[in-house]
Chains A and B, each alone.
Chain A
Amino acid sequence: MEILKIDHLGIAVNSITKAKRFWSDVLGLAFQGIIPAEQQKVTAAYFTVGESDIEVLQSTSNEGPVAKFINEHGEGIHHVAFQVDDIEAALNELKENGIQLINEKPIIGAAGGGKIAFLHPKATGGILIELCECERKRS
């Protein structure tokens, strides 16, 4: 597989409104918009940083993965997403190498409809890694 870049960093927060004050007002990142992702029980806000994004995630449900993450770890860095050129090929390669996946097949990503899949932290040294075959327009 070929990893092209860090596509985004996912940050779990209790409040996007509060987080926006930090990422936009304090750090000066450009706010791109808010997108719901009901499949993952989150609302996502995007901030551009160079060729990557900061994806700020607020859970829409107490049962959602982001809510559970915050209950266990507090707010903070939730996952890193690497952009790949061919996610199907990447997943096949990972399966052949015995890497535990959360998504055996790609699912549709929150923003822009790209294809994404998560690797299990047990296989990655404790990190939730997302692969995405996606290209978001950044202004």
Chain B
Amino acid sequence: MKILNIDHLGVAVDSIDQAVSFWTDILGLSLEGTETVENQKVTTAFFPVGTNELELLESTAPDGPVAKYIAKNGPGIQHVAFRVEDLDAALAELKAKGVPLIDTVPRPGAGGARVAFFASESRQRSVG
């Protein structure tokens, strides 16, 4: 598979409204926009960082993956997203190599992207 770059870092927060000022006023990033991804029960806020992005994640439901992550670990880095050339081929390769996948087929992500999640090794951190 060909991983092109770090697309974004996903950071779980209790409240995007409360978290935004750290990333904008303190670190000088710009809020590009927000979007709710229903199938993940999450609202996302995107901040460009050079050619990468930072994505804040606020759960829209107590049983969403972000809410469950925060309940277990507290707020923090929830996932890293790698951009690939061909997601279908990448997933087929991971399956062939025996890597357990959270998504065996791509699902819709924020910004019209196709995404798939899996966790590396024993940790439950999502790498999508």
Question: Which residues of A are at the interface with B, using a C-beta cutoff of 8 A?
Answer: 1-6, 9, 18, 22, 25-29, 49-52, 73-77, 80, 82-83, 94, 97, 99, 121, 123-127
Contact = CB atoms under 8 A, between A and B. Distances in A.
Given A3-B29, A5-B51, A127-B77, A49 B5 contact: yes
Contacts, number: 86
B49 A5 contact: yes
Contacts of B105: none
A1 B28 contact: yes
Interface stretch (B6-14, B33-41, B60-68): B6-14
B27 A1 contact: yes
Nearest to B82: A49
A9 B50 contact: no
Q: 3 closest Cβ contacts across the A-B interface?
A: A50-B5, A5-B50, A126-B76
Interface in B44-79: 49-52, 73-77
Interface in B81-107: 82-83, 94, 97, 99
Contacts of B29: 3
A3 B121 CA distance: 31
Nearest to A13: B121
Contacts of A2: 28
Contacts of A76: 123, 125
B122 A74 contact: yes
Contacts of B1: 27-28
23 contacts: A2-B28, A5-B49, A6-B6, A6-B50, A18-B121, A22-B121, A26-B99, A27-B1, A27-B82, A49-B3, A49-B5, A50-B6, A76-B125, A77-B77, A77-B80, A80-B77, A82-B49, A97-B26, A125-B19, A125-B75, A126-B76, A127-B76, A127-B77
Nearest to B26: A97
Contacts of B123: 74-76
B113 interface: no
Contacts of A26: 94, 97, 99
Given A22-B120, A74-B122, A75-B123, A52 B52 contact: yes
